[in-house]
Amino acid sequence: MSSHYDKALDTRLASIQGQVGAIRRMLLEGRDCEDLLLQLSAVESSINKIAKTILKDHLNKCVKESIEQGETDILDHFNSILDKYIK
């Protein structure tokens, strides 16, 4: 993973961390369920965007490079990664 992605992903993760902290406070304050669910949905969406970025990076770099080098078993490995992520 490139350092460009590392910085961008770190920024997104910090944002998610802040959102989760806000959700915890909302729970303690007894906030409305609808508000909580909206915030949880936002966190889930952010996490999915990070996962999508990482999966695309892996596909475009690692998998592509392995295929170019004749390592066809990389497709099985990538499928295994997808199976673990998408449940």
Q: CB of 19 within 8 A of CB of 42? A: yes
What is the predicted pLDDT for the residue at 85?
Answer: 84
What is the predicted pLDDT for the residue at 87?
Answer: 78
Strand runs labelled E in the chain: none
Q: What would the two tokens of residue 46 be? A: 């952010």
Query: pTM here?
Result: 0.79
Q: Which domain holds residue 51?
A: 3-85
What is the predicted pLDDT for the residue at 38?
Answer: 97
CATH number at residue 51: 1.20.58.1000
* Mean pLDDT over the full length of the chain: 91
Domain count, the chain: 1
What is the predicted pLDDT for the residue at 4?
Answer: 62
**Positions in the chain whose pLDDT score sits under 70:** 1-5
